[in-house]
Chains A and B, each alone.
Chain A
Amino acid sequence: NAGVTQTPKFQVLKTGQSMTLQCAQDMNHNSMYWYRQDPGMGLRLIYYSASEGTTDKGEVPNGYNVSRLNKREFSLRLESAAPSQTSVYFCASSVRGLAGVKQFFGPGTRLTVL
């Protein structure tokens, strides 16, 4: 049981390049999320997916697109990277049960855009 996995761990891009961050979870969770973390800003939600086939914008969606490929996988795409997108990106998944909501995080992707 690997939990939430993310690839790559590190990435350096030049302005204007594109890339896709991959995320997968093996806990059979319906909901998945992409956050970015910047110093002094906490975690800000980029996009989320409440279930397979649905996606919704979060707080900071501009410049990003997402795909919920299946129940396990939720990818984040930067079509034309900008220096303002330099950040640490976290994927998460969640489940609601008798013990309330539990959200599980991946290890993060550190992205630098030059």
Chain B
Amino acid sequence: AQSVTQLDSQVPVFEEAPVELRCNYSSSVSVYLFWYVQYPNQGLQLLLKYLSGSTLVESINGFEAEFNKSQTSFHLRKPSVHISDTAEYFCAVSSQGGSEKLVFGKGTKLTVNP
């Protein structure tokens, strides 16, 4: 069985400040890792994913996440946030084989203030 822990339920930051949203996972098998973003009153969109290879993955809008196997973490970072990054962010894990099911964390609400 897999589980995901998002360590912060809410993260308020000021515009242009750096941000880190933390995610830890637990699994007995090799995993794929994902970050999804949900803007207010919308569905979930894939932000970025780690499958294999380089442990640092990037999205098109400046976010990056680093897979750390020894610490079982997949923290999401952005060096300078914008008001438009205000959203809820979900970390998720799936096994590399077998079921395609995702297990989600409880989410982190990022609020970017002017």
| SS class, residues of chain A in contact with chain B | strand
CA distance A23 to B100 in the complex (A): 18
Q: Given A100-B51, A108-B43, A42 and B100 touching (CB < 8 A)?
A: no
Within 8 A of A (CB), among B1-24: 6, 9
CA distance A37 to B6 in the complex (A): 16
B contacts with A, residue count (CB < 8 A) = 22
Q: Which size bracket describes the interface of A in this complex? A: 20 to 34
* Residue B63 lies at the interface, judged by CB distance under 8 Å to chain A: no
Query: Are B90 and A103 touching (Cβ within 8 A)?
Result: no
* Residue B84 lies at the interface, judged by CB distance under 8 Å to chain A: no
* Residue B29 lies at the interface, judged by CB distance under 8 Å to chain A: no
User: Chain B interface: which of A11-19, A43-51, A64-72, A76-84?
Assistant: A43-51
* Residue B47 lies at the interface, judged by CB distance under 8 Å to chain A: no
Q: Which of A31, A33, A42, A100 contacts B106 (CB 8 A)?
A: A42
Using a CB–CB cutoff of 8 Å, the interface residues on chain B facing chain A are 6, 9, 32, 34, 42-46, 49, 51, 90, 94, 96, 99-102, 104-107
